[in-house]
A = this chain, B = another copy of it.
């Protein structure tokens, strides 16, 4: 392995000079700079980040904690985060927790031992004691929560306006004439679930429709949940004519349930999803959904993390992106049937 020492010898300067030109710190004459760069070139030298990290405590690495990379939403988000990180000269260590707080705690501890420069948490639960604990034990560590909020912690956050998105989605269905609108979403303690439900309820209220609790089902943000809950909901005699799915995966599950029950989308059932993930264009008919700007959110999260690692910012900020309703083919006007 070639070290700074070899470079110094070849360039006939001291190692501290080499360090100086490499880091562009302190004074160095143009001439020695040139000599050093030449030597670096000739030896194909790359500085050992591990050794440097011992001193400046920077590893150019972020930890990214998500539930599961197989979930397309997190895959998109991860890609955005990784790209942004890479552009800024950082790498990301991927951690899949399956929402298991114990597993998450172990990851955090490991990341800390490795001296990562910060952690991006993209974890759905509104109560996450792990984050609280890291902040207590390492108040200096850059932390950004991406796509969620955690109660009782002051930390930088990058969000999508879940309420607004859900409100718009529901209003869209209401405007099409639907009155019986189901809502199927994920874990009840998930920030997304909570906010999206609020938006759904606010829209109904705006149309002076009373809340039918049978029309609200919470499970998980997965295809299987959409299928199970969707089936349950669609099997009811007084079944809804539209369903607002808490995310696209749930919507896909509802599609499956509807197909099995021979319910036509959108003629007999309108569906709106959330996220505008790759599923939306794959299913037939293509899914009307609320677009979460994952790309921008991922970028922003990394930028905030890097900023935090460089400056010691004295305030916390919350950045909220606006979602956008993307109307495709899974929603249509309610056809007035005899019964109604």
B283 touches A282 (CB 8 A): yes
* Residue from B68, B69, B114, B281 in contact with A50 in the complex, judged by beta carbons closer than 8 Å: B114
- In the complex, A82 has a CB within 8 A of chain B: yes
Could you say which of B44, B69, B72, B259 contacts A78, with CB atoms under 8 Å apart? B69
Please judge, given known A-B contacts A93-B92, A114-B91, whether A278 and B70 are in contact too, CB under 8 Å.
yes
A99 proximity list for chain B (CB < 8 A):
none
A61 and B61 alpha carbons, distance in the complex (Å): 12
A94 close to chain B: CB less than 8 A: yes
Q: Find A93's partner among B50, B61, B70, B278 (CB 8 Å cutoff).
A: B61
State which size class the interface on A falls in: 35 or more
Chain A stretch 270-285: residues in CB contact (< 8 A) with chain B: 278-279, 281-284
Contacts of A237-277 to chain B: CB distance below 8 A: 252, 255-256, 259
**Which B residue's beta carbon lies closest to that of A51?**
B54
CB distance from A122 to the nearest CB of B (A): 13
Q: A76-B70, A79-B68, A114-B49 are in contact. Are A259 and B284 (CB under 8 A)?
A: yes
Task: Give Cα distance in the complex from A94 to B252, angstroms.
Answer: 28
- When the two chains form their complex, are residues A46 and B79 in contact, meaning their CB atoms are under 8 A apart? no
Of A105-113, A173-181, A209-217, A305-313, the one touching chain B = A105-113
A48 interface residue per 8 A CB criterion: yes
Q: Chain B contacts of A68 at CB under 8 A? A: 79
Tell yes or no: A75 within 8 A of B by CB.
yes
A187 at the interface (CB under 8 A from B): no
A53 within 8 A of B: yes
Whether B91 contacts A92 by the Cβ 8 Å rule is no
Question: With A49-B115, A50-B59, A51-B54 in contact, is A94–B92 under 8 Å at CB?
Answer: yes
CB distance from A86 to the nearest CB of B (A): 8
Contacts of A83 in B (CB 8 A): 96
A223 contacts chain B at the CB level, 8 A cutoff: yes
Q: A46-B112, A69-B75, A72-B75 are in contact. Are A91 and B91 (CB under 8 A)?
A: no
Could you list some 23 contacts between A and B, CB below 8 A?
Answer: A46-B109, A46-B113, A49-B115, A50-B50, A51-B54, A54-B54, A59-B114, A69-B69, A69-B79, A70-B72, A72-B72, A75-B75, A82-B94, A82-B96, A86-B107, A91-B95, A91-B110, A92-B93, A93-B93, A94-B94, A259-B284, A279-B282, A283-B283
Q: Which 10 A/B pairs are nearest by Cβ-Cβ distance?
A: A50-B115, A94-B94, A49-B113, A91-B93, A75-B75, A49-B114, A46-B113, A50-B53, A69-B79, A70-B79
Given A69-B78, A70-B72, A82-B95, 20 new contacts (CB under 8 A)? A46-B113, A49-B114, A49-B115, A50-B50, A50-B53, A50-B59, A59-B114, A61-B93, A61-B114, A69-B79, A70-B76, A70-B79, A83-B96, A91-B94, A91-B111, A92-B94, A94-B94, A223-B278, A256-B284, A279-B282
